[in-house]
Chain A
Amino acid sequence: MLEFKDVSLTYPNGHQGLKNINLKINDGEFVVVVGMSGAGKSTLIRSINRLVTPTSGELLIDDENILKYKENNLRKLRTKTGMIFQQHNLVKRMSVLRNTLSGRLGHMGTLRSLLGMFPQDDVNLAMSNLNRVGIGEKAYTRADQLSGGQQQRVSIARVLTQKPKVILADEPVASLDPPTAHKVMSDLKRISREDNLTTLVNLHFIDMAQEFADRIIGLRDGEVVFDGPVSEVSDKTFEEIYGRPIKEDDLLGGDED
Chain B
Amino acid sequence: MSNDVKFPPKPKRTKLKIKLGITLAVLAALYTVALTTTGFEVRPSASSAWHTLQRIFIAPLFDADTRAAFPELVGYMLETIAIAYAGLSIAAILAIPVGFLAARNMTGNNLSYIGKGILNAIRAIPELIFAIIFVAAVGIGPYAGVLAISINSIGMLGKLYAEVIETIDMSKVEAIKASGGNRVQAMWYGVLPQVVPEFSSYAIYRFEIDVRASTVLGIVGAGGIGFPLLLATQQRNWEDVGMILYVVVIFVTIIDIVSGKIRNKLV
Q: What is the interface of chain A, defined by CB distance below 8 A to chain B? A: 49, 51, 75-79, 81-83, 85, 87, 89-94, 102-103, 105-108, 110, 113-114, 155, 158-159, 162
B interface residue count range (under 10 / 10 to 19 / 20 to 34 / 35 or more): 20 to 34
Contact call A89/B174, Cβ cutoff below 8 A: yes
Does B179 make an interface contact (CB < 8 A)? Answer: yes
A–B pairs, 18, beta carbons within 8 Å: A49-B178, A76-B180, A77-B180, A78-B180, A79-B180, A85-B171, A85-B174, A85-B175, A90-B172, A92-B194, A93-B194, A102-B176, A102-B189, A103-B179, A105-B176, A105-B189, A114-B185, A158-B179
Contact call B179/A105, Cβ cutoff below 8 A: yes
Partner of A114, one of B172, B177, B180, B188: B188
Q: Name the prevailing secondary structure of the B interface residues.
A: helix
Contacting residues, chain A, for B179 (C-beta < 8 A): 78-79, 82-83, 102-103, 105-106, 158-159, 162
Chain B residue with Cβ nearest A159: B179
B264 to chain A, nearest CB (A): 18
Chain B residue with Cβ nearest A104: B179
Contact call A93/B171, Cβ cutoff below 8 A: no
Contact call A89/B171, Cβ cutoff below 8 A: yes
Contacting residues, chain B, for A94 (C-beta < 8 A): 189, 193
Contact call B184/A78, Cβ cutoff below 8 A: no
Chain B residue with Cβ nearest A114: B188
With contacts A85-B171, A91-B189, A91-B193 taken as known, whether A78 is within 8 angstroms of B182 at the C-beta atoms is no
In the complex, which residues 189-223 of chain B have their Cβ closer than 8 Å to any Cβ of chain A? 189-190, 193-194, 196-197
Contact call B182/A75, Cβ cutoff below 8 A: yes
Contact call B193/A83, Cβ cutoff below 8 A: no
Interface centre among B171, B184, B185 (most CB of A within 10 A): B185
Contact call A113/B188, Cβ cutoff below 8 A: yes
Contacting residues, chain A, for B193 (C-beta < 8 A): 91-94
Contacting residues, chain B, for A76 (C-beta < 8 A): 180
Contact call B177/A51, Cβ cutoff below 8 A: yes
Does B126 make an interface contact (CB < 8 A)? Answer: no
A163–B176 Cα distance when bound, in Å, is 15
Contacting residues, chain A, for B21 (C-beta < 8 A): none
A15–B160 Cα distance when bound, in Å, is 36
Contact call A75/B180, Cβ cutoff below 8 A: yes
Does B181 make an interface contact (CB < 8 A)? Answer: yes
With contacts A110-B185, A113-B185 taken as known, whether A78 is within 8 angstroms of B175 at the C-beta atoms is no
Contacting residues, chain B, for A87 (C-beta < 8 A): 171
B131 to chain A, nearest CB (A): 35
Contacting residues, chain A, for B181 (C-beta < 8 A): 75, 102, 105-106, 113
A85–B177 Cα distance when bound, in Å, is 13
Contact call A89/B175, Cβ cutoff below 8 A: yes
A159–B180 Cα distance when bound, in Å, is 11
A110–B175 Cα distance when bound, in Å, is 17
Contacting residues, chain A, for B190 (C-beta < 8 A): 91
A187 to chain B, nearest CB (A): 19
Contact call B180/A105, Cβ cutoff below 8 A: yes
